[in-house]
Amino acid sequence: MLQVRDGTGETLGVLFDRYQAPLYNFYAKLTGDRTLSEDLVQEVFLRILKYSQSYQPGTPFRAWIYQIARNARVDHYRKTPKHVSFEPEMAPPVKPKDEAQQSQEAEMLHRALMQMPEEKREILILSRFQELKYEEIARLLGCELGTVKTRIHRAIQELRQVFRHLEGGAAAAGSAGAAPAPAIPPRRVGS
């Protein structure tokens, strides 16, 4: 990033190769919209060029780029109202026993995630799917480490409740037996 900041534009390609997929996954899980996710990733890299002088040496780059990503999403929704659709390939990964069950649980987990308040959905995606460390999330959100841990814990509890509610509705609608709630991806050790 320091090379990009100092005007070596071709090094932006290295950052793009490294962060394009994680940013796309972040947006895809948050918005459920493939096209919007691709557009927002492009916007992030345009903003990296535009605001490269604001990057301070010693600042964790990952936290800086996710702050730009969050701002790009907020700015987009200021201009355009939200709409959420489900695209199966955007579903969070789960590991059930068979493909049909996997698809059903992935769709239900995605629906549960999309029903949660945006702040809780975002913190879960950052911690569990983007694998940011709690310290990075605290810096990104401008709050204390303990606050991040509490918010994540509460968000997981709410996600489980929403999932079980959806699961109960699917079972009541004639589904063949209810599967257990899928596991939220675990934290990496040291986070």
Q: What's the CA gap between 92 and 80, in Å, rounded?
A: 25
Residue 24: predicted pLDDT: 93
Residue 96: predicted pLDDT: 46
Q: pLDDT tens digits, residue range 80-118?
A: 766 545 555 555 444 445 677 777 877 888 888 888 998
pLDDT, one tens digit for every residue, the chain (191 residues): 777 776 665 777 888 888 899 999 999 888 888 999 999 999 998 898 888 888 888 888 888 889 999 999 988 988 876 654 555 555 544 444 567 777 787 788 888 888 899 889 989 888 888 888 899 899 888 899 999 999 999 999 999 899 888 888 766 555 444 445 555 655 554 54
Residue 43: predicted pLDDT: 93
Q: What's the CA gap between 137 and 134, in Å, rounded?
A: 5
Residue 172: predicted pLDDT: 58
CB crowding 71-81: b at 16 or more within 10 Å, else e: ebbeebeeeee
Q: pLDDT tens digits, residue range 155-170?
A: 999 998 998 888 887 6
Q: Which residue bears the tokens 């929403």?
A: 162
Residue 167: predicted pLDDT: 82
| Domains within the chain, CATH numbers bracketed | 2-79 (1.10.1740.10), 98-172 (1.10.10.10)
34-50 helix and 61-79 helix, angle to the nearest 10 degrees: 120
